[in-house]
Amino acid sequence: TDTKIYERFRAACDIFFNKKREFFAHNREEQENNLQLKTELCIQAEAIAESTDWKKTTDELIKLQKRWKTIGPVPIKQSDKIWKRFRAACDNFFNNKSEFYSNIDSTYKDNLKLKEQLLEEIEAFKEGSDVAENLKQLKDFQRRWAEIGFVPIKQKDTIQEKYRELLNTKFDQLKLNEDDKALLKFRSKIENIASKPNANRRLSMERDKCFNKLKQLENDITLWENNIGFFSNSKNAESMITDVERKIKDAQNKIEILNEKLNILDEFEN
């Protein structure tokens, strides 16, 4: 009887320990597989840790971090090591990103001060008797403004609008011909567009607008030049030809202005 009881007890223990061995064997296998998965995530994170494509890489690393959380435990001896490896790659990127934007913030603030100082110069500018010199000075203001660069986003629209209004006021005060005024104001307009979101798309629209006007004027000139030959036998030929020649000259002047505008756009388009 004692033998039977012992055998029964031993059989129950064997079942338990066999299942225990199976459990831990399966658990070790699963942990080794998890280690392999986490190692692959480390390799992916390390491959992009030095990237300067901040938006894209941030999204990719966040995805890797989310996947990391879905993977189960690894062997205890490797747990701390593999985690530190993954975290080091992530920290390397995010520290670089933080430093980059910190430097940008500082640069933008410096740019804001420079633009505020330039606004004071523009406001204090008094036109002299030399029209060419006055025009040169205003163009220099425009050049310096464009070279300064970006300012903090919260102040961008306010300071750009103040600059545009102030410069346009100065344009109106100068004794310039209408063509020069138009070009200066066009440059101011393009500077304003270039500082806005979707600048390239809006600049492209301005280019298309100028180009279409230019082509239409060229077609008009060709048509008018052809028509002059038909007027020679007309009763009022001389006055009609004079009128057409005036239209041609006016169109040619407009084409010159449009070409100047296209040159201005070239300066701002990427």
Residue-level pLDDT at 48: 95
Tell me, yes or no, whether 190 and 206 share the same domain: no
Residue-level pLDDT at 26: 61
Tell me, yes or no, whether 159 and 80 share the same domain: no
Positive/negative CA dihedral, 117, 123, 124, 125: positive
Residue-level pLDDT at 104: 85
Positive/negative CA dihedral, 94, 97, 103, 107: negative
Residue-level pLDDT at 35: 92
Tell me, yes or no, whether 143 and 208 share the same domain: no
Domain boundary among 161, 179, 196: 196
Residue-level pLDDT at 235: 66
Asked, for residue 63, whether it belongs to a domain, the answer is yes
Asked, for residue 118, whether it belongs to a domain, the answer is no
Residue 23 has pLDDT above 70, yes or no: no
Lowest mean pLDDT among 119-123, 140-144, 255-259: 140-144
Tell me, yes or no, whether 183 and 218 share the same domain: no
Asked, for residue 110, whether it belongs to a domain, the answer is no
Q: Whole-angstrom Cα distance, residue 38 to residue 31? A: 10
Tell me, yes or no, whether 173 and 235 share the same domain: no
Asked, for residue 112, whether it belongs to a domain, the answer is no
Tell me, yes or no, whether 14 and 87 share the same domain: yes
Asked, for residue 87, whether it belongs to a domain, the answer is yes
Better pLDDT: 2 or 92 = 92
Asked, for residue 229, whether it belongs to a domain, the answer is yes
Dihedrals phi, psi of 175, to nearest 5 degrees: -85, 70
Residue 3 has pLDDT above 90, yes or no: no
Tell me, yes or no, whether 169 and 136 share the same domain: yes
Residue-level pLDDT at 262: 92
Tell me, yes or no, whether 210 and 176 share the same domain: no
* Closest residue by Cα to residue 253 from 175, 177, 179, 171: 179
Task: Tell me the DSSP string of 25-89.
Answer: HHHHHHHHHHHHHHHHHHHHHHHHTT---HHHHHHHHHHHHHHHHHS----HHHHHHHHHHHHHH
Domain boundary among 144, 169, 196: 196
- Give residue-wise pLDDT tens across range 43-86: 999 999 999 999 999 999 999 999 999 998 898 898 999 999 99
Asked, for residue 111, whether it belongs to a domain, the answer is no
Tell me the helix, strand and coil percentages in the chain, rounded to 5.
85, 0, 15
**Overall residue count recorded for the chain in this entry:** 270
Residue 122 has pLDDT above 90, yes or no: yes
Tell me, yes or no, whether 92 and 18 share the same domain: yes
How far CA 14 is from CA of 4, 111, 258, in Å, comes to: 15, 78, 95
Q: What percent of the chain has pLDDT over 70?
A: 95
* Domain region containing 162: 125-196
Domain boundary among 150, 170, 196: 196
Q: Whole-angstrom Cα distance, residue 137 to residue 235? A: 53
Residue-level pLDDT at 174: 78
Q: Whole-angstrom Cα distance, residue 72 to residue 21? A: 20
Asked, for residue 222, whether it belongs to a domain, the answer is yes
- Give residue-wise pLDDT tens across range 126-151: 888 887 788 888 889 988 998 898 88
Quick one: tokens of 50?
């030095």
- Give residue-wise pLDDT tens across range 180-191: 888 888 888 888
Residue 269 has pLDDT above 90, yes or no: no
Tell me, yes or no, whether 207 and 173 share the same domain: no
Tell me, yes or no, whether 90 and 35 share the same domain: yes
- Give residue-wise pLDDT tens across range 168-207: 888 888 777 788 888 888 888 888 788 777 788 889 999 9
Tell me, yes or no, whether 177 and 220 share the same domain: no
Quick one: tokens of 83?
């985690």
Count of structural domains within the chain: 3
